[in-house]
Amino acid sequence: MRYELYYWASIQGRGEFVRLALEEAAAAYVDVARTKGGEECMQALLANEGLACPPFAPPFLKAGNRLIGQTANILFFLGERHDLAPKRDAGRLWTHQLQLTLADFIDEVHDTHHPIASSLYYEDQRREAKRRAADFVASRVPKFFGYFERVLASNPSGPAHLVGARVTYADLSLFQVVAGMQYAFPNAMARIARQTPKVSALHARVAARPRIAAYLASTRRLPFNQQDLFRHYAELDR
């Protein structure tokens, strides 16, 4: 079976967390919006009032006759199918919990450049963005990164992974968060990296995984850009 991933064609965004899992699993998939007519096809699905379980927003994944939305939910589904999560309930829930925490962080990243409304331009909320980003950098980034450092340090199987002794989709997602933060907040991240060496080491290890390294070097990996979730505004990166 070939999965169909539905996500915006020009950004990594939240779709990237799903792409990384599909790539690590060597799963057959098509990135629908990046094919000819694909974005219209995605919009048509979003507008389709006949669906029993309609997705609210991209990313969503078509797997056979299922249509699954919400990034963490998609990963929960893929994790089980492709051995990217523990088999037992406790481990699966713990991995899901970590993914939801990463999702919270990602929302906060978004709100640094769009603190008032997603529908407004950055330039229309610049002052508020500056205030929001200052607090994000000073207290939220250290709190989230400190938490993931602690989770790595207290993993009974060792600090190489967030959960157990093998890679999970939560590791792939933490890699993506670090990569995005290095693009968006290079100054802040230089400081944070010194305080969270286990998180930095996980980022390097995931980047070196053969399938992930091949993906990162391919044209399937879109570059970070200023329309994306992670954006670099020098004035926000203090």
Ligand X SMILES: N[C@@H](CCC(=O)N[C@@H](CS)C(=O)NCC(=O)O)C(=O)O
- For residues 42-53, one letter each, b for 16 or more C-beta atoms within 10 angstroms of the residue's C-beta and e for the rest, the string is beebbeeeeeee
19 is a contact residue toward ligand X (CB under 6 A): no
Q: Provide the minimum distance between the beta carbon of 105 and ligand X in the complex, in angstroms, as a whole number.
A: 12
Binding segment for ligand X (CB under 6 A), chosen from 52-60, 76-84, 155-163, 185-193, is: 52-60
**Judged by CB under 6 A, which stretch of 55-63, 91-99, 169-177, 219-227 contacts ligand X?**
55-63
CB of 166 to ligand X, least distance (A): 24
* Residue nearer to ligand X on the CB measure, 70 or 200: 70
Backbone angles phi, psi at 45, to 5 degrees: -65, -40
* Cβ atoms of residues 196 and 144 within 8 Å: no
Site string for ligand X, 192-221 (x = CB under 6 A): ------------------------------
Q: Which of the stretches 56-64, 128-136, 206-214, 220-228 binds ligand X when contact is defined by CB under 6 A? A: 56-64
13 binds ligand X (CB under 6 A): yes
- Asked if 14 and 74 count as a contact pair (C-beta separation under 8 A), the reply is no
Residues 53 and 67: beta-carbon distance below 8 Å = yes
What kind and span of H or E run contains 29?
strand 29-31
Q: In terms of CB distance, is 58 or 86 closer to ligand X?
A: 58
- Contact between 70 and ligand X by CB under 6 A: the answer reads yes
CB count in 10 Å sphere of residue 139: 10
Residue pair 102/173 in contact by the 8 Å Cβ criterion = yes
Smallest gap, in angstroms, from Cβ of residue 10 to ligand X? 12
Contacts of 50 (CB under 8 A, 6+ apart): none
46 lies in the binding site for ligand X (CB under 6 A): no
Query: Residue 112 interacts with ligand X (CB under 6 A)?
Result: no
Element (H, E) at 61: strand 60-63
164-193 residues in contact with ligand X (CB under 6 A) are: none
Total residues at interface with ligand X (CB under 6 A): 8
DSSP string across 187-219: HHHHHHHHH-HHHHHHHHHHHHSHHHHHHHTST
Length of the chain: 238
* Structure token pair of residue 191: 């400081």
71 binds ligand X (CB under 6 A): yes
Give the range of 37-45, 54-62, 161-169, 212-220 binding ligand X by CB under 6 A. 54-62
In the complex, which residues of this chain contact ligand X (CB under 6 A)?
Answer: 13-14, 57-59, 70-71, 103
